[in-house]
Structure 1
Amino acid sequence: MSSITLGQTIWLIGLVAWFIIRYPYARRARGTATLRRDGTLRERLLLAAAFAGLFVIPMVNLATGWPRAFAYDPGYGLVVLGSLLFAFSLWLFRRSHKDLGRQWSASLEVREGHRVVRSGVYRSIRHPMYASFWLWALAQACLLPNVVAAFSGVAAVALLFFARVRFEEQMMIETFGEDYRRYMQQTHRIIPGVY
C-alpha cells in the first residue's frame, strides 16, 4: 500500500472513530437541561469553519482529488507520525468526554448541575477537547496528501480555538466565579505546564 493510500485510510478510520466516540456522549447530553448557551452567529460560524476544515475539505479532496495542484506524497514517516498523533487525539477526545459526562456539549453551554471538573485530564489542562482537536489537525496535516486538505484542519482549529476559548473561559468565570479563577491558576489551557 502506498503512503498516500495508507495516510488517507488512517485518516478515514480516525474520522469514523471520532464519530463513534462522540455519539453516545452527545446522546446522553441531550437529556440534560441547558441553563445558558452561546447561540450567537459567531459561535455557529466558528463551529461551521471547524467542520469544514476537519471534515468537508478533506472529504472533498479524498473523493475528487481537488485541488490537484497541491497534491504531494507525505511519505511513510509522516504517515506514522500522523497515525500516532491521531491515536493520541482520539484517546484524549474520549477521555475528555468521559471526564465531563453529561456536562459535555458541542457549543458553549452551561448545563443543569454543571460544576468545574478537576479530575482526569482536566487535572492538568482546562481544555483537553481543544487539545484533541489540535492533535487531530496536526495528524491530518501529516496524513493527507494535499497541502490544502492537510492544513485546512490546522487553520480551522486555530480559528476556533483563538476566537472561542476566551469566551468560554469568561462564561465559566461568570457561572462559577472564584472557583473557576482558582482552577485557571492551577492549570494551563492545552499543554500541561506550558500553555
Structure 2
Amino acid sequence: MTPEVASIVWLFGGIGWYVIRFPYQRRNRRKNTVVQSQFDLRENILLGCSLSGLAVVPLIYVFTGWLSFADYSFHWLQGVLGTAVMAAALWMFHLSHRDLGRNWSVSLELRDSHNLVTEGSYRYVRHPMYTAFWLLALAQALLLPNVIAGLAGVVGFGMLFFGRIDREESMMLAVFGDEYRQYMRRTARVFPKIY
C-alpha cells in the first residue's frame, strides 16, 4: 500500500458515499413533505464545515498537492487499516440509510408520517449515520498522510456533530417525548457501550 493507492481508496470511498446516499436523497425530496425544519443559517454553516473537511480540503490535497508541506511519512499498515475503516464506514452508512428509510433528511427535518426508528442499526446506537461519518473521518486521517487534509474530516465533521447533536435530540424529545427518553436510556448515542 502506497500513499497514491491510499488516496485512490479515499476517492472511491467518497464515490461510494455518494452512490449510497443519492437514491435516498432523490426519493425523499420527491415523496416526503417536510413538516418541521431547523434548516437555518447555523445549519448551513455546520454543513459547510463538514463538507469542507470531508471533501473540499482533501480533494484539493489529492488533486493539486498544494498542502504537501504538511505531509508526513506514510506506513503501509495505516493504508490497510484506513481501507478497513472506510469499508466499515460505507457499510454503516448504507445500513443507517436503509433502516431510516423515508425518515432520512440531510438536515434537521421531520417529515410527514415521521416515526421513531429503533430497529436495525438504530437498535445499537441512536445516530448510526453519525457513527458512519466519524468512521469516514478516521479513514480519511489514515488514508491521507497529510496533517491538514487527513485531519480536516475530523475537524469539519466534529464541528457539525457537536454543533447539531443537542438540537437534534431536543427536536426528537419534543416530538416523541417519553418514547425517545426511554430509547436514550437503553441506547448509546454513537458508539455502542461507549458514547
What is the TM-score normalised by the length of structure 2? Answer: 0.97
CA distance in 2, matches of 1:110, 1:14: 29
Partner of 1:193: 193
The letter of the residue matching 1:98 is R
Question: Is the Cα–Cα contact under 8 Å of residues 29 and 105 in structure 1 kept in the other structure?
Answer: yes
Q: Give CA deviations for 1:11-39 in whole Å, capped at 9, x if unaligned.
A: 00100000000000111111211110112
The structural deviation recorded for 1:73 is 3.4
SS in structure 2 of the partner of residue 39 of structure 1 = coil
RMSD across aligned C-alpha pairs, in angstroms?
Answer: 0.9
Map of 1:133-172 to 2, 5 A cutoff? 133-172=133-172
CA distance in 2, matches of 1:45, 1:103: 23
The letter of the residue matching 2:151 is F
Partner of 1:36: 36
CA distance in 2, matches of 1:41, 1:74: 39
Partner of 1:14: 13
Query: Structure 2: which 5+ runs fail to align?
Result: none
Question: Is the Cα–Cα contact under 8 Å of residues 18 and 90 in structure 1 kept in the other structure?
Answer: yes
Query: Structure 1: which 5+ runs fail to align?
Result: none
Q: Give CA deviations for 1:26-76 in whole Å, capped at 9, x if unaligned.
A: 111112111101122111100010000000000011111121210123221
The structural deviation recorded for 1:170 is 0.2
Q: Give CA deviations for 1:86-115 in whole Å, capped at 9, x if unaligned.
A: 000000000000000011000000111111
Aligned length: 194
Map of 1:42-57 to 2, 5 A cutoff? 42-57=42-57
The structural deviation recorded for 1:149 is 0.3
Partner of 1:88: 88
Question: Is the Cα–Cα contact under 8 Å of residues 103 and 114 in structure 1 kept in the other structure?
Answer: yes
The letter of the residue matching 1:64 is T
4+ residue segments displaced more than 6 Å: none
The letter of the residue matching 1:34 is V
Identity %: 45
CA distance in 2, matches of 1:66, 1:168: 37
The letter of the residue matching 1:18 is W
Question: Is the Cα–Cα contact under 8 Å of residues 37 and 110 in structure 1 kept in the other structure?
Answer: yes
